[in-house]
Chains A and B, each alone.
Chain A
Amino acid sequence: MEGKKSSDYVLLFMKNLNLIIIIYIAALMAYSISGYLKESSAGEFLAKIGRLPISAWKLPVMALCLYAACLLLMRMEEVRGLALAIKISLELVISFFISYILGFCYTGIVLLVLANTMKQFPKSTWKFPFAVGICLIYLLLDFDLISVYFSFIPLEVYLEYFQSDVRSVLMGLVNVSGSMNTFTFLVFMILLVRLQMNEKEKILTLNEQLNTANMELYRANVRLEEYAKESERLAEARERNRLAREIHDTLGHALTGIITGIDACKALMETAPEAANGQLTAIADVARSGLTDVRRSIKALRPDVLDKLELEQALMQVIHKMHVATGAQIEFQCAARLNCLNEDEENMVYRIVQECITNAIRHGQADKIWIQIDREYNMLKIHIKDNGTGCEDIKEGFGLHHMEERLTMLQGTLNYSGSGGFTVEARIPIRWGREDEHDD
């Protein structure tokens, strides 16, 4: 912004300089003409110049009028397209006439027009050709060249009115001021170019900064991903550790106690059966306490799905997953409201369904499973049937037994038959609508 301002000042200075030069030269000419008149050498002067010059008073007036018109044209802003071309051409024509009036001893006004054009011209491909064109016109206005094609009165002839030493000084002043104008023009152009270079530099710097920021962002992203993976691994390890600790603390402890107690019982059976009996009671206590611990642990390890979803949706999800995983067709019908079960009961229902589907597919090789949940008074009835191989001789494996045991804890019952596919029917007493109900 600072560069632009200083170039504006330079242009203003250039305009004033041109004004002074024009006044100076026109005044010189006017003074010479009136001097010739005063000294009665008009005839000699006319014979020397070979044409009638513009009257003394007209010279400065016309030059100033034209220059003022040129300045007004330059003042016009935001002219575009054809109008701009006309404006510049008109400025050049006026500059030509001013130069003509001044006997082409000074053509610097064209430089002023060029400077002003460079400042006002919009960014376009035409800018450069226009500048070159104006430069060419400036070069062609050269005194010696133009004197071949135009007849005009050179300043030197006017200045012959003065003594040779005065003449040299006057002519020198004209040359110096012309050079000064050229110099000012150069300064203006340098400032203009510097301004444009500054802008480009700024854009480049901004671009660089943007690139750096992008790079950093990318790196941060990568780090973040790595961190996410790492933290997942950590969570897994922590979970495994927790499980191991949990098992060790509950089951391990209880089992160790039971094994030790049973070993003691075996020894006591023969020698003191009463003591053994007492010992067994103690073992049972330990086992029960262990079971309690395990239940607490399991409660802590309860499936995430139920935390997040309603029971029915969780069931649907597990059914869908099994279907997707095994291709078995699973029909699910639910005629009871499942949204008011307590946590234990929810877990129970979820585990039963999950276990039964697993069993039907794993042991019965079933490809169709029907699941029906409905309500019979205060009982929730879960009926699960499959078209698998079934099992004539049902061995109560851990799964069924475990189910039965859990149901027992909830005062529920489990019936199952292995003929014609496998059918499981679980009944769980539910205290519907009672807020304060609590089992155990």
Chain B
Amino acid sequence: MRWTRISKKNLISGIICVVLLVCTYLIYSDAYQKFGRYKEDTVTIGVFSDSYWEVQNGYSYRILEDAVSVFEKEHPGVQVEYTSGILKEDYPEWLSEQMLSGSAPDVFFVLADNFTDFAEIGVLKELDTFIEADPEFDKEAFYSPAYLSGKYDKIQYALPYECAPKLMFVNKSILDREGIDMPDEDWDWDDFYEICSKVTKDTDGDGTLDQYGVVEYTWKEAFESNNVKLFNDRGTECYLTGDNVGTALSFLEKLKALNGSYNVSGRDFDLGNVAFQPMLFSGYRAYKPYPLRVKKYSSFEWECIPMPAGPLGDNISALDTLLIGMNEKTKYPQYAWDFIKILTCDPKIQSEIFSYSEGVSVLKEVTEVDQTLFRLIESAGNSEGLNLKMLSRIVENAAAVSRFRDYEQVTAEVDRAVKEIINGDSNISMEQIIWNREVNKYLGK
């Protein structure tokens, strides 16, 4: 009698215990959401309203809307939703909030600055399985630096949507005035320095310099075009001691010495007093067309060419890429993948980037076709200074930036180091070793 009572009690306890454990698992894995679902399938998209390239263009959701209609035609019965009105500056915070409260969209745009954090946190789904399983998908169609920018720790977490390489803006008016020819596309640091030293002068004879060679040409640009790999992939080690770094630093020191004690600013370029300024391709796209051109650079003629090559590097620069990722916890991974594919791999959608955005399509075939050139000419008013083959080559050869956690803080640290080395009086290679140790110490933390 007693035995039965106790075993009955144990049995009931065990059953309730198992039920509780199953409930806990369902809550943890979000599987409970599958019960009692009555709405039709809805894929949600995380997107911001303004341009990634920080220029006003008025086409906020144009490309996205087109992609949605393509998707909904392919998947009848599946709806696509997105929250509109989120500004780019608020977008990371908005996305983080959605993630924290467990309501993140199935597919979302990922800003280059946030990509590493998101991959590290684990909110991005690994796309390698989809890529392998999908015969239609061809990663060779992408510009490889753009494609690689969605890779973190050897895993593809996101696909590129649009990109923009860094170009050198040239004030043609100054060059014409000084009787200097436009540099070739494959110009190097020597040509660059020569022009800079020629244009740096006191034009009005008041004893102070008022025309300068270059502005905002930092160690980043110098390192990129001198083939410097500054960090290892995981961001645990810094290589500040190499020869590439040494030559880049001496070059920067030389450039700086041209200006004496004066600190050249972006405003000097806007006023037409500086010959060169590195700028994203999107900037060129934004200010080349008629209305904005008047607003900003009205006092001089300007063009853009690739960055100058360092002695140990090439005419290459960094690529800024806007990525698209999938939510790790999405309920519709296949729909999400299909939608990502439409946005990134559909040539029709990608070609709209040249119409409604300021970036470059990440697909080679889209960027290189003549149709694109016509569009650019149409929007720019003339074809002057724009060479599509050159653009394609710049993008293809762009430096793949390896990003990692705390990338911003680490580059700030390198910033400080470079400034100290250039401003310091002592031997550069000595300083390199000292600062390399400093930065590595920071990385070790």
Identify the stretch in B17-25, B72-80, B140-148, B176-184 within 8 Å (CB) of chain A at 4 or more residues. Answer: B17-25
The docked-state distance in angstroms from the alpha carbon of A73 to that of B18 is 10
In this assembly, does A294 line the interface, its C-beta being within 8 Å of a C-beta of chain B? no
Complex contacts, A53 vs chain B, CB 8 Å = 100
The docked-state distance in angstroms from the alpha carbon of A180 to that of B97 is 37
The docked-state distance in angstroms from the alpha carbon of A200 to that of B117 is 63
Complex interface residues of chain B between 190 and 222 (CB less than 8 A to chain A):
none
In this assembly, does B1 line the interface, its C-beta being within 8 Å of a C-beta of chain A? no
Shortest CB–CB separation between residue B332 and chain A, in angstroms? 19
A36 engages B100 (CB within 8 Å): yes
In this assembly, does A176 line the interface, its C-beta being within 8 Å of a C-beta of chain B? no
The docked-state distance in angstroms from the alpha carbon of A77 to that of B102 is 40
B10 engages A45 (CB within 8 Å): no
Complex contacts, B21 vs chain A, CB 8 Å = 65-66, 69, 94
Complex contacts, B24 vs chain A, CB 8 Å = 62, 65-66, 69
Complex contacts, B9 vs chain A, CB 8 Å = 75-77
Q: A46-B121, A76-B14 are in contact. Are A69 and B20 (CB under 8 A)?
A: yes
Q: Mark B84-127, 1 if CB is under 8 A from A, else 0.
A: 00000000110111011110000000000000010011110000
Residue of A nearest to B23 (CB): A65
Q: A45-B96, A55-B101 are in contact. Are A73 and B23 (CB under 8 A)?
A: no
B28 engages A69 (CB within 8 Å): no
B101 engages A62 (CB within 8 Å): no
Most buried by B among A54, A61, A68, A69: A69
Q: Mark A10-52, 1 if CB is under 8 A from B, else 0.
A: 0000000000000000000000010011001111011101111
In this assembly, does B133 line the interface, its C-beta being within 8 Å of a C-beta of chain A? no
Q: Mark B158-198, 1 if CB is under 8 A from A, else 0.
A: 00000000000000000000000000000000000000000
In this assembly, does B229 line the interface, its C-beta being within 8 Å of a C-beta of chain A? no
Q: A43-B92, A50-B405, A62-B24 are in contact. Are A77 and B100 (CB under 8 A)?
A: no
In this assembly, does A72 line the interface, its C-beta being within 8 Å of a C-beta of chain B? yes
The docked-state distance in angstroms from the alpha carbon of A60 to that of B289 is 57
The docked-state distance in angstroms from the alpha carbon of A92 to that of B123 is 30
The docked-state distance in angstroms from the alpha carbon of A20 to that of B422 is 60
Complex contacts, A73 vs chain B, CB 8 Å = 13-14, 17
Residue of B nearest to A70 (CB): B17
Shortest CB–CB separation between residue B406 and chain A, in angstroms? 9
In this assembly, does B377 line the interface, its C-beta being within 8 Å of a C-beta of chain A? no
Complex contacts, B99 vs chain A, CB 8 Å = 42, 46, 52
Q: In terms of DSSP, what is the predominant structure of the interface of chain B? A: helix
In this assembly, does A58 line the interface, its C-beta being within 8 Å of a C-beta of chain B? yes
A72 CB contact (under 8 Å) in B17, B97, B123: B17
Complex contacts, A45 vs chain B, CB 8 Å = 96, 100
A62 engages B93 (CB within 8 Å): no
A52 CB contact (under 8 Å) in B14, B17, B123, B405: B123
Complex contacts, B23 vs chain A, CB 8 Å = 65
Most buried by A among B9, B27, B405: B27
In this assembly, does A79 line the interface, its C-beta being within 8 Å of a C-beta of chain B? yes
B93 engages A40 (CB within 8 Å): yes
B101 engages A56 (CB within 8 Å): yes
The docked-state distance in angstroms from the alpha carbon of A373 to that of B20 is 104
B27 CB contact (under 8 Å) in A36, A46, A62, A77: A62
The docked-state distance in angstroms from the alpha carbon of A78 to that of B10 is 9
Q: A40-B97, A58-B27, A73-B17 are in contact. Are A50 and B121 (CB under 8 A)?
A: yes
What are 25 A-B contacts defined by CB distance under 8 Å? A37-B100, A37-B101, A42-B96, A42-B99, A43-B96, A45-B100, A46-B96, A47-B117, A51-B120, A51-B122, A52-B99, A58-B27, A58-B28, A58-B102, A62-B24, A62-B27, A65-B21, A65-B24, A66-B20, A69-B24, A72-B13, A72-B17, A75-B9, A76-B13, A78-B10
Q: A46-B121, A66-B21 are in contact. List 5 more A-B contacts (CB 8 A).
A: A45-B100, A53-B100, A55-B100, A72-B20, A78-B10
- Show the binding face of A for B, using Cβ within 8 Å: 33, 36-37, 40-43, 45-47, 49-56, 58, 61-62, 65-66, 68-69, 72-73, 75-79, 94
- Show the binding face of B for A, using Cβ within 8 Å: 6, 9-10, 13-14, 16-17, 20-21, 23-24, 27-28, 92-93, 95-97, 99-102, 117, 120-123, 328, 405
